[in-house]
Amino acid sequence: MAFLTGPHPEERAPHAPQRKPLPKILLLVAALLACSCSSDDGPHYAAARRPLGMRETLHTGHWRGQVGMTEVDYVIDQVAPTSVSVRVSGTVLRQANRSLQASSVDNYFYDRPRTCKRTADGKAFDCTRYTDMHIDNGLLCGVYQAPEQLYRPCLEPVL
């Protein structure tokens, strides 16, 4: 048996530097970033808010939207146990039987503040012309009845 002096022949071979594999999460993040930047198919817009059929608790706020040919601002100033205080104003977008030179002042309207009655479930209220007013998915929805016309608007919150 021979005595070996020095290191074993395999230990004498030069060592190749070992590469450490990149963590999988780092590769995944890099791939996601590359994919998110490569698409150029135009702007993406959030989907329009829609009522979900679930009535929320009434609260104060300001909503705006179109009812027929009128842009309406609807403000709930106060919510009491049996009533709701509101202010309604807006701009008539097109007036029938009016001159095209009518001033914008003629197109603006506002109702005096009024108190409306809450419904039995407490999640809606009724006013003159505006009935079943309730909050659904942040929208103020209800029924607006004008002479010979019926609308079911859902007004967007004003932030």
The answer to whether residue 37 is domain-embedded is no
Tell me the average pLDDT across 153-157. 97
pLDDT 10s digits, 74-103: 999 999 999 999 999 999 886 555 554 555
Tell me the average pLDDT across 52-62. 97
CB 158 within 8 A of CB 140: no
CB 90 within 8 A of CB 73: yes
For residue 123, what are the domain limits?
A: 61-157
Distance, CA of 43 to CA of 28 (rounded, Å): 25
Tell me the average pLDDT across 126-147. 95
The answer to whether residue 149 is domain-embedded is yes
The answer to whether residue 27 is domain-embedded is no
Tell me the average pLDDT across 116-139. 96
In eight-state DSSP terms, residue 56 is B
The answer to whether residue 56 is domain-embedded is no
Higher pLDDT, 96 or 71: 71
Q: Euclidean distance between the first and final Cα of the chain, in Å?
A: 91
Radius of gyration of the CA atoms of the chain, in A: 33
pLDDT for 136 beyond 90: yes
The answer to whether residue 144 is domain-embedded is yes
Distance, CA of 148 to CA of 132 (rounded, Å): 19
Residue 107: strand pairing partners: none
Q: What's the chain's average pLDDT?
A: 80
The answer to whether residue 121 is domain-embedded is yes
In eight-state DSSP terms, residue 119 is P
Taking CA atoms, 149 is separated from 11, 26, 129, 146, in Å, by: 95, 61, 11, 5
Tell me the average pLDDT across 55-70. 95
Tell me the average pLDDT across 135-139. 97
In angstroms, how far is CA 13 from the centroid of its own chain?
67
Structure confidence at residue 16 (pLDDT): 56
Residue matched to tokens 């395999």? 10
The answer to whether residue 137 is domain-embedded is yes
Higher pLDDT, 125 or 44: 125
The answer to whether residue 75 is domain-embedded is yes
Count of domains for the chain: 1
